[in-house]
Structure 1
Amino acid sequence: MTQFKPNLIKAALISSGVAFGAMPAMAQDADKDQVDESMVEVIQVSGIRGSLQRAQAIKMDNTSIVEALSAEDIGKLPDTSIAESLARLPGVSGERRNGRTSGISVRGFNENYVGTTLNGRELLGMGDNRGVEFDLYPTEIISNILVYKTPEAGMTTQNIGGSIDLQTVKPLTAEQTMTFNGTYEKNKEDSLNPDFDNDGHRLSFNMVDQFADDTLGVALTIATMESPRQEQQFRGWGYADANPENAAEGVTVPEGTKVLGGHDSFARSAMMKRDSFATVIQWAPDDRLNVQFDGLYIDFSEDDARRGLEEGGAEWGTGAYTITGVENGLVTSGYYDGFYSVIRNDVRRQEADLKTFGLNVEYILNDNWTANADISTGSVDKLITDVESYSGVGRAGTDNRPITARSWTMTDTGVMYADHPTMGSVDLTDPSLIRLAGPQAWGAPIIGSDAQDGFVNNPEFEETLTTMRFDMEGYVDWGIFTGVEAGVIYADREKAKDNNGAYLTAPSYPGDDAIPDVLGVVPLDFVGIDGILAYDSLGLYNSGYYDATAAELVQADRLGDTYIVEEKLTTLYGKLDIDTEYEGIFIRGNVGVQVVRADQQSFGFSTSLNQAGMVNATEVSGGTDYTDVLPTLNLSAEIADNQFVRLGMAKVLSRPRMDDLRPNTQVTFSFNDNQILSDDIDNGPWGGSSGNPELKPYESNQIDLAYENYFADTGYVAVSFFFKDIKNWHRDNAVLSDFSDDYIPSLHQTSDGQAPVLFEGQKTKPLDGYEGFVRGWEIQGSLPGEMLHDALEGFGMFASATFLDGYAEAAPGTSETRIPGLSEENYSMTVFYENAGFEVRLAATKRTDYLTETRGLSLALSDATNQGGTFVDAQIGYDFSESGIESLEGLRVTLQAQNLTDEEDVQTAGTDSRQVTLHQSYGANYLLGFNYSF
């Protein structure tokens, strides 16, 4: 069996279009650069095994501990999403959001603690914070993905979780090709909403070519996508203490028993649209100069309708209920004697565009030294328009409205309703009964207590990032050190959020009216309800049908969450490459240090409500500057042929969340005269919440140790252990604060004009300085079938298991110690067969429960527990280049099935898995695709 050697590794990298400038620098000389062409045929360049070979070559060649993923062909990752592909790598797990794998956790830290780059440059996300939503980036532009688990000094995205580098092709070293991809997509479930389709498509064009005597290379990708999703969703408001007095005869309700407080359940349909344009232009007029321009533009939009019911439950919404069943501290069944159901027609549109451009100039000064200059700029604009529209049996206060009464049973998917044992049901699909008006007495001081017939959340995000970098690297002969690299990097980042919102009132107020343009009926049988009427609330809002009243007039959390954060980073770094031999063992690696100077400023508002419930706002600002020193060490020892022991040690940091850096304060003040005149801080009038513009980064000292044994060109086993000693975690704290600057004499006084006795109170804000740890084991392997038996030629398997534990100290008075994104157990396995043009693949991933975030009031993010799950995908295809049919050469056809077992997403209140607060079911997704290469 031919083993990997450095020249074969290099051949694999060249065949995949990866230039060595994209990898950590390593010593090279003319002899090492020579590739034995007689052995190049060992490295496959297409198909599943070709992808594994290239990824394994990258992994072997790196001195850091990395995971690698290589496209099977130009424009063809093995999955339809970058996030799905990443989720199969060891130590990496995916998080589904609204039916798509979008978030990524690396070694127990979600994407907010993971750096992401495109060709080595930091990449902006389209979310609320720093984390990248990986499903929004087209797979067609990617050639390789590297997950760095240990950092190097030249990387500007060192993060506690790790760093992910998305790499495009290098057109001067990639194969000439012209490729078309097309996919038809369909969800197993019929469209749940009458105005949405249940099928979509993906189309892309990829081209790589060289011109001007191979001195000019161009890679071009154009991709468009329309992808549907269907979802059945139960969302519980939470679980309150059950009232024993409401127990039916013969039923005992022990103290502390919990009962569902209410629900809003929806049938959701969505369509995500994405148009992408990417180009790489590489110019190398001679052996010394290499110039590369990268450009990426993504135009993204998603429409989704969530139509269903919002209904009060026991304790929250109605006290008229009877408990008929209790089990282990949870009310499992009962019935409500009545409430006025709110029919919700909520429609959301998200629109975003991302632009990123980069220019790199590399010049070889002489045989030993190279200078490199790089400049890049990126921007993201995102707008969310989320319309809630309420209807029901008539406006609140209307006489003789029919009451909805139901019995209920708790299940592992949430609640299941049925008819009340004695009262009749109300037909919520009857157009003659249902009126466009709020059936609950919801409102605000400026519109009236019963005038809220809907609401629109309309936040807008803008973010820019400009980076300039200059570095030099050279080859030296300093004992064990064979290379040196040093540079300076300047990054200027700004993120702004304008948290708009408005109350919506129908023109019929104070009366009600029939629903205009009923679209049909949306079934809610998954919670035991026949259905509700559907109509286009977004269309009504956009047409000016509703009267809109700005929420910032009466909601302190609007301007209280409107901010600008500016961040300027100056980084100096130096790195020495190590290449030596000790008692016959070859050792490579690097040692280096970064010195990072940070200057952060933010601008926002301090808000409070006056006695009439109106907002008072004043501008505020804050910030700080500081310096961090980050040393790194990576060593890789080849203890036997193709067997490596790797060691990594580093101090790393993740920058604070952008929303935590806002200076905004939302001040609460009690207008109770006794509290105003109290000298007891615990009973004083002041309170509030705020961001913290002086937060320092999350910090960790970490050590990594790995053993890797590469026994075949697609076969290896590896075991890794890592420990991250967290030194500066962030937690929300209630801290004693001085509110003197927030005092407004005309507002904060007693009824007879007396000023407060005290100006101190409790304010909740994020603070740093908390400690903790995360540690884990990773076991992974890849096995070609022919190593077991010749009859298994073409079969293969790769699998991994990750075991984690860890915590960060809880804030005083709280109990939350979990790390966002950490699952204690993560598994991944892919089994495939590839022979004579046929390709079959079955893949599964599993993760246990973890801490995540969900959107609550005003679309604000709040903590939630996701129960994890097992996700199974399958793919079958045929490559006609193996068919012998000349006219079909270059054609590949695939059929994919995603989420074959229809795995649900489940979130719970705390750690009690029975207290379901969110249950989402999406159905399987099927894709029929073709790939044609010239």
Structure 2
Amino acid sequence: MKPIPSGRVAPNPNPFILKATVAALAAVGALSSASVWAQAADAAPAAVETSGASGAEATGTAVADAAPASVVTVTGIRSAARNAQAFKQNNEQVVDSIVADDIGKFPDKNVAEILGRITGVQIIREAGEAGNVVIRGLPGAVTLLNGREMFSAVSRSLFLADIPTTMLSRLDVYKSQGVDMVEGGTAGVIDVRTNRPFDFKGYTASLVGRAENRDKSSATDPQLSGMASNRWKTAYGEFGALVGYSYQRGRYQDEGAWVGVPLSIERGLTGPDTIGRVMTGGDRKRWAGNGVLQWRPNSDVEVFAEVINTRIEHDAQTNFLVGQLPLNKGATMTTVPGTNYLQSISKEGADQWTLTSTQGRRHYSRTTQAATGATWDVNEQWRLKTELARTISKFRNQNPIVDIVGYMPNVSGSIDNGVGSIDYPGGDIAGGSRFFLEKFFDQHSHDEGSSTDWRADAIYTPADKGFFRGFAGGVRIAKRRAASIHGIEGSVNHPGAYSPNQVMINSIPGFTCPSLSPAGNYGAATFAVPCASYLLNNTSDLRQAFTGSTTPNPEDPLSYYADIEKTQALYGKADIAFDAWSVPVDGSVGVRAVRTEQDLRGNSLINNAVVAASTKTTSTDYLPNLALRAKLREDLQARFTWVKATQRPAFADFNPGLVLHAAGNTTLATGTSGNPNLKPIESKNMDVALEWYFAPTGSVTGTVFSHEFKNYIRRKSTPETYDGITYDVSRPYNTSEGKLEGIEIAYKQFYDWLPGWLGGFGLEANGTYMHGGLTEPDGKVNSFAGMSKWAYNLIGLYERGDWSARVAYNWRSRFVSEYAYRATQYDLVVDPMKSLDASITYKLTKNLSLTVDGTNLTDFKYKDYHSEPALARDIRRYDRTIGVALRWKN
């Protein structure tokens, strides 16, 4: 790609971009008109050290491994804010950053929770923590650790909740991706940066002890982390060493009440045939450790070696209640006023079939990454870098499930204000005297992933700086393996179920437990369920009772897949600078070429025989990149970026195995398979930004963005012929195209000019508007599942003397979580989501501080519904947490 000549401008954005840019400029002026001139005399933002940066480091510009950013700051507020703002201002890509000023002072427990504070990023908390992260409404983000690819088992991404915040130095969310970054994210890049010993002046040690109470689970759990780092000057150069450790335990409870999919029921009404409950509780223990060595033999050479390890042991249970309603039994029913929607139903003497169940889950996962690398400043013009990394990840899952069934004499159900409830007056739903063993699911699985990747980068800065200010190029070679297999799925009926020989659950010692108790009122307070501890610790007894053998359910060869993926990437980039109508412009232009080779393996079922299946594929992608920055004034700059990015499909989608099912008397011949010929999802991303830095810790920024997608993946069925027989085979295909457009605005300021204690206040506010969607094969355009049209964060900050505090409010508008839910006419729509978190810290001594923090302080209730608000689906409630922490640092 040729650089844009002096005197010309970048290609014109589409009409939406032009209109939204005008709106952004207006918003910038409106937001920042007050209280800024009092800080005009402040010094310009200081330079930022970028130790541990990726191969995108300085190529003639001040900092080249980062980008324009909205910045969230945490305790020790002003120094962190200054560093983060300077990091943003001097970068070439579009990035939002969080910078820690001190060790262990992030108010959140893991990386995923922090991301919810960033402009354009949304998270969902469940199972006791934040885990689901989307950028600008899109899930396709690549996750990096210190600029390197890291993942969990067969996933392509690092599970961000596994990284404790106490290890963090900085967290960068790139909205536009540089050619020198690892490819793989259409939505952006999340780069987790950890501490290294040369980040500190000398000996540094810290220790954080925290106790956290959760209200739904009624549990108080410990969390402990520590770090020690030092550096020494010797005759052989300077050495540095760092070790860190973190332990977290979290016992949690999520509660939910659900309503079945609306059906046409008796008397011309629309309503469900079931109402139920889902209660989930777990005990998660997470260990994480890291170690780093650095050596600087002279001022020109630096060598490092580091390792990080995470281990998770997680026991959990989910209790289900499936309450069948007494339809067609002469029940008393009412409707929602003005509609034909069922509101209540009751029947005495119903003798109604009722099911409860427990899913026991025992998960174990472990991920280790070791890396070594070096940087050599050959002379004033040349810098060479290299890095080698090895990652190994394993996941094991044990998941026994038992269903029990009883017949309840009386049933009463209702749907009111988006909440379904069900009760059984006069029936022993809690004691379980009416329940017998029905089904057993003997589920288990294990996944493994590993990779070896090496990269080398060369950076050249010419002595005579003209139009070209620097050049960079590099190569990356990686080999990734992912493999998965699970047990044969399906259930086994108890031989005595629905017969005179049925086994009542109360006859089995230690088998029956009350379900987890809800905080809300959804009818019956508790119901009898199989004990999760019995399922997990006596699985052999269950196998004997249901199958007559203690042998585990065998592994299913048809579920097996393995993918050996080799990538070879080469990139080149030129840093440029010129004047456009006397306005200084700088930036970069480059391209990344990636060749991907895949060796895909699986098993097929042909004529009732298991047959090995394998195939090999090769593809090449070219990813151009343009980033420009115009310095309109010393404190005002504009940006334009255009990037092509790709997102590879999930490994399971490539599975070459084919399972064919012969036609029956009432069924067609069908088949299921993956698709080895899937292409990566492609995205062409454009950002136009305006940034005003009116103080070292004060800014207003606006970004207009546009993403154009193709090759989105959907599963569909098409006729395929094998041995003269035509089957309707379901596979994933690249079928959909899409577009996403929007605007982000962010404001940050500390009000130092206010008198006295009022000068400690600061405010951060950011908001995002998005619209767009995918064009489905039938021509219908659906907004992206999981995308809110509006989202914003308000963060109040305070720091003065020994006190510091933070109050953060997050809100996002309603969104569709699933289209054509369960193959019906209804979409699953989620009501607006909001959360309020806060923390306050007091310095007891120079080295010791006390922090009290809380999350979900308003006890948020998640609600969704079947297309119409009156057709309720779920209400879910999660733990409200209160934590108390002591932090010591030397």
TM-score (normalised: structure 1): 0.82
Name the counterpart of 1:242: 265
8 Å CA contact retained: 1:571, 1:597? yes
Name the counterpart of 2:742: 776
CA distance in 2, matches of 1:138, 1:64: 26
8 Å CA contact retained: 2:213, 2:881? yes
* AA at the equivalent of 1:618: V
8 Å CA contact retained: 2:615, 2:656? yes
* AA at the equivalent of 1:410: I
**Residue 541 of structure 2 is aligned to residue 545 of structure 1:** yes
Query: What is the CA distance between 1:308 and its match in structure 2?
Result: 4.2
8 Å CA contact retained: 1:726, 1:771? yes
Query: What is the CA distance between 1:346 and its match in structure 2?
Result: 2.6
8 Å CA contact retained: 1:282, 1:293? yes
| Unaligned runs of at least 5 residues, structure 1 | 34-43, 192-197, 245-252, 394-401, 439-451, 676-683, 741-757, 881-887
Structure 2 counterpart of 1:871, from 818, 835, 842: 835
Q: Deviations over 1:69-114 (max 9, x none)?
A: 011312322322211211111111112233421111111212xx10
- Tell me, what secondary structure is at the counterpart of 1:786? coil
Structure 2 counterpart of 1:204, from 214, 225, 240: 225
Describe the shift of the 1:154–1:173 C-alpha distance in structure 2 as closer, same or farther (beyond 3 A).
Answer: same
Structure 1 stretch 69-78 or stretch 694-703: which is displaced more?
A: 69-78
Name the counterpart of 1:247: none
Name the counterpart of 1:800: 766
Query: What is the CA distance between 1:929 and its match in structure 2?
Result: 0.7
Name the counterpart of 1:901: 858
Name the counterpart of 2:46: 9
Query: What is the CA distance between 1:764 and its match in structure 2?
Result: 2.3
8 Å CA contact retained: 2:543, 2:552? no
Structure 1 stretch 262-271 or stretch 593-602: which is displaced more?
A: 262-271
Name the counterpart of 1:735: 718
CA distance in 2, matches of 1:820, 1:59: 30
CA distance in 2, matches of 1:820, 1:72: 37
**Residue 153 of structure 2 is aligned to residue 140 of structure 1:** no
Give 1:511-530 correspondences, 5 Å limit: 511-513=502-504, 514-517=507-510, 521-522=514-515, 523=517, 526-530=521-525
CA distance in 2, matches of 1:348, 1:557: 18
Query: What is the CA distance between 1:283 and its match in structure 2?
Result: 0.9
8 Å CA contact retained: 1:846, 1:870? yes
Structure 1 stretch 580-589 or stretch 915-924: which is displaced more?
A: 580-589
TM-score (normalised: structure 2): 0.86
Give 1:574-613 correspondences, 5 Å limit: 574-607=572-605
Give 1:409-558 correspondences, 5 Å limit: 409-419=414-424, 425-430=426-431, 433-434=433-434, 437-438=437-438, 452=439, 454-476=440-462, 477=464, 479-501=466-488, 503=491, 510-513=501-504, 514-517=507-510, 521-522=514-515, 523=517, 526-533=521-528, 536-543=531-538, 544-547=540-543
**Residue 205 of structure 2 is aligned to residue 178 of structure 1:** yes
Query: What is the CA distance between 1:550 and its match in structure 2?
Result: 12
* AA at the equivalent of 1:330: Y
Query: What is the CA distance between 1:703 and its match in structure 2?
Result: 1.2
Aligned length: 821
- Tell me, what secondary structure is at the counterpart of 2:197? coil
* AA at the equivalent of 1:533: A
- Tell me, what secondary structure is at the counterpart of 1:483? strand
Describe the shift of the 1:430–1:152 C-alpha distance in structure 2 as closer, same or farther (beyond 3 A).
Answer: closer
Describe the shift of the 1:851–1:623 C-alpha distance in structure 2 as closer, same or farther (beyond 3 A).
Answer: farther
Query: What is the CA distance between 1:527 and its match in structure 2?
Result: 2.1
Give 1:373-388 correspondences, 5 Å limit: 373-388=386-401
Name the counterpart of 1:273: 285
Name the counterpart of 2:148: 121
Name the counterpart of 2:628: 635
Query: What is the CA distance between 1:221 and its match in structure 2?
Result: 0.9
Name the counterpart of 2:250: 227
Query: What is the CA distance between 1:532 and its match in structure 2?
Result: 2.4
**Residue 880 of structure 2 is aligned to residue 916 of structure 1:** no
Query: What is the CA distance between 1:116 and its match in structure 2?
Result: 0.8
Structure 1 stretch 762-771 or stretch 66-75: which is displaced more?
A: 762-771
Structure 1 stretch 234-243 or stretch 701-710: which is displaced more?
A: 234-243
**Residue 565 of structure 2 is aligned to residue 567 of structure 1:** yes
Name the counterpart of 1:664: 657
**Residue 674 of structure 2 is aligned to residue 691 of structure 1:** yes
8 Å CA contact retained: 1:348, 1:538? no
Describe the shift of the 1:469–1:853 C-alpha distance in structure 2 as closer, same or farther (beyond 3 A).
Answer: farther
Q: Deviations over 1:321-345 (max 9, x none)?
A: 5543245352222135332322323
Name the counterpart of 2:699: 716
* Bigger RCO of structures 1 and 2 (CA < 8 A, at least 6 apart): 2
Name the counterpart of 2:881: 925
* AA at the equivalent of 1:759: I
Describe the shift of the 1:190–1:555 C-alpha distance in structure 2 as closer, same or farther (beyond 3 A).
Answer: closer
CA distance in 2, matches of 1:297, 1:665: 37
CA distance in 1, matches of 2:344, 2:707: 46
CA distance in 2, matches of 1:344, 1:109: 34
Structure 2 counterpart of 1:217, from 240, 244, 262: 240
Name the counterpart of 2:811: 846
* AA at the equivalent of 1:280: V
CA distance in 2, matches of 1:811, 1:557: 36
CA distance in 2, matches of 1:865, 1:515: 42
CA distance in 2, matches of 1:59, 1:787: 24
CA distance in 2, matches of 1:866, 1:227: 27
CA distance in 1, matches of 2:74, 2:854: 25
CA distance in 1, matches of 2:495, 2:258: 30
Structure 1 stretch 794-803 or stretch 44-53: which is displaced more?
A: 44-53
**Residue 686 of structure 2 is aligned to residue 703 of structure 1:** yes
Describe the shift of the 1:599–1:827 C-alpha distance in structure 2 as closer, same or farther (beyond 3 A).
Answer: same
Q: Deviations over 1:820-865 (max 9, x none)?
A: 43211111110011111111211011112335479x99xxxx9965
CA distance in 1, matches of 2:303, 2:736: 45
CA distance in 2, matches of 1:597, 1:851: 36
CA distance in 2, matches of 1:554, 1:762: 33
Name the counterpart of 2:410: 405
Q: Deviations over 1:408-451 (max 9, x none)?
A: 111345311245xxxx63112336x255512xxxxxxxxxxxxx
8 Å CA contact retained: 2:141, 2:189? yes
* AA at the equivalent of 1:827: Y
8 Å CA contact retained: 1:507, 1:546? no
Give 1:244-393 correspondences, 5 Å limit: 244=267, 253=268, 257-313=269-325, 323-327=333-337, 328-335=339-346, 337-393=350-406
Give 1:180-195 correspondences, 5 Å limit: 180-191=207-218
Give 1:40-119 correspondences, 5 Å limit: 47-110=76-139, 113-119=140-146
Describe the shift of the 1:518–1:554 C-alpha distance in structure 2 as closer, same or farther (beyond 3 A).
Answer: closer
8 Å CA contact retained: 1:4, 1:642? no
8 Å CA contact retained: 1:739, 1:759? yes
* AA at the equivalent of 1:904: K
- Tell me, what secondary structure is at the counterpart of 2:297? coil
8 Å CA contact retained: 2:763, 2:794? yes
8 Å CA contact retained: 1:559, 1:607? no
CA distance in 2, matches of 1:863, 1:538: 36
| Unaligned runs of at least 5 residues, structure 2 | 1-38, 65-72
* AA at the equivalent of 1:187: R
Describe the shift of the 1:319–1:481 C-alpha distance in structure 2 as closer, same or farther (beyond 3 A).
Answer: farther
Describe the shift of the 1:235–1:24 C-alpha distance in structure 2 as closer, same or farther (beyond 3 A).
Answer: farther
Describe the shift of the 1:56–1:526 C-alpha distance in structure 2 as closer, same or farther (beyond 3 A).
Answer: same
* AA at the equivalent of 2:878: Y
Query: What is the CA distance between 1:624 and its match in structure 2?
Result: 2.0
CA distance in 2, matches of 1:305, 1:277: 28
Name the counterpart of 1:444: none
Name the counterpart of 2:27: none
Query: What is the CA distance between 1:584 and its match in structure 2?
Result: 4.4
- Tell me, what secondary structure is at the counterpart of 1:80? coil
